[in-house]
Amino acid sequence: MGARRTETFRRATHSAADSRSPLGIDPPLDVGSPRRYGGTAEHGEHLVGQGSRLARGASASPVTLLRRNPSGEERAVATQPATRARDPGYPSLVRTIEIARDDAGQRVDRFLRKYLASATLGHVFKLLRTKQVRVNGRRARPEQRLVEGDEVEFRLPDERLSEMAQKRAGARSAPATRSLEALSILHRDEHVLAVDKPPMLLVQAGERPDEPTLDRLVLDLVGEGEALTFRPSLAHRLDRGTSGVVLLGLSAPGLRGLTAAFRERRVTKRYLALVHGRPKESAFRVDLPLQRTDTEDRRGARVRVSHGPDAQSASTEMRVVATSPDGQLTLIEARPMTGRTHQIRVHLRASGLPIVGDPAYGDPERVRQIRGSAGLWRTFLHAWRIELVHPVSGEPLVVESPLPSDLRRTLQMAEIAFEPGAER
């Protein structure tokens, strides 16, 4: 995805007076080679291996590890090729990371907290406080923003490196157990991915960690990329029973731009909902504040209309698309102006127009009837269209999702002719 991962290692160096490092690491060995730079044998001026500032661009000549005794005599203890970037046998290493595109833009402390996944917050700030982290050779400040090409350097003991690698690998390798064939790609470029979420698929992990989720399926499909602290992520969510367009950021600039667009309400989302009843007007707007409850009621509802101090403002624009010949069912296009949980479902229920098949906010008897007659086992709500400005290119981006087969079948039963996109 355009990101380049660069991690290089060299031996940590200390003055002869140091007995232990600030992190409690034994004094390291000097690193030298048959060819000394400038003819000097001082601490820190030996060849330290491919990727360091001294050895960058050097040939693959052997690197000799030397031990110096108190009298100043040196003894070779090991030899390895200069092309070897790391040796897990070292008691301590200085890790140098070149910041790639998808790791740039974040604070130093946040970058370290993500990169050192197994380290405690206190350990991360100890590294910063004891001046063990440098950016481009200078002491790093926690609030300092990283830019592409920066070199971040910090010291870690071996056991920390091993633990960190295991934690990061484990945290990013949760398998998806659902077939990738269930995932349809609606749009893809270097920064943005739009997928067609099937019904009853969670977008993120819930109470059951082994349950397949949309974000895991996407990672299986596109991979995690080369960035150290970034992976493709969701920009917004849909309920389990809702199908349709979901946007994800494939790059850090893409994800930041998408989340900002949703937060600032610069994304137009259009949903299709089949409701019981017929509204008096062909277009109307619902402005009712909503509040989440601590517990679900007997039908699973978690949101209600409220004018209390903890309620949040919510607004939805509605438009009648089509009505069944008997006037009992109406297909409505809903455009939420805010992004509250279950907003469309609660607003339609409050308007006397419960969504067909909604087990939480609909009529239980009607839900049972629609399951028996049309075989619809979920809420008739489909995120069929998203319009926004591309977060990186600045070009208009419109993504549409066709109606799934269960919703088409329900419309046919209601004798409502409408298809928002091509057949699947």
Catalytic residues: 239
CB 184 within 8 A of CB 246: no
Cα distances (angstroms) measured from residue 277 to each of 218, 280, 332, 334: 38, 10, 11, 15
Half-sphere exposure of 98 toward its Cβ, with a 13 Å CA cutoff?
A: 12
| Distance of alpha carbon 267 from alpha carbon 259, whole angstroms | 10
Which tokens belong to 28?
Answer: 């390291």
**CA 81 – CA 62 distance, rounded (Å):** 4
DSSP-derived 3-state class of residue 159: helix
Distance CA 289, CA 308 (A): 9
Handedness of CA 293, 296, 299, 300 (dihedral sign): positive
d(CA 405, CA 211): 24
Q: How far apart are alpha carbons 202 and 234 in whole angstroms?
A: 12
In terms of residues, how long is the chain?
Answer: 424
